[in-house]
Amino acid sequence: MLFRHDAMAHWTKSSYSAVNGDCVEVRAQGPLLVRVRDSKDIARSGLAFSAETWSAFVLEVSERDRPGA
């Protein structure tokens, strides 16, 4: 697994967040579930993904961002 659920116990804003703060936030809800929400609409609980699906997504995106990829 690529994420530590204990490190994402609170909503964490994306490092790609815009200057005005509009972006996505992620939070682990236990070891098997990750929630993703719009930082402008924090009243909603966000979309839910399995930890396995979220890890695969993060890995894919990080590989695309590597120079020469």
Residue 38 domain boundaries: 5-65
* Local confidence band at 5 (pLDDT 50, 70, 90 cut-offs): low
What is the pTM (predicted TM-score) of this model?
A: 0.71
Residues 15-68 pLDDT 10s? 777 666 678 888 888 888 999 999 888 888 789 999 999 989 988 988 877 776
Count of structural domains, the chain = 1
Question: How many Å is the Cα radius of gyration of the chain?
Answer: 13
Tokens of 64: 């695309």
Burial class of residue 16 (count of CB atoms within 10 Å of its CB; 0-12, 13-18, 19+): exposed
Which token pair is 62? Answer: 């990080």
Please give the Cα distance from 69 to 63 (Å, whole number): 7
pLDDT for position 31? 84
Token reading at 67 = 């120079």
Q: Report the alpha-carbon distance of residue 39 to residue 34 in Å, rounded.
A: 15
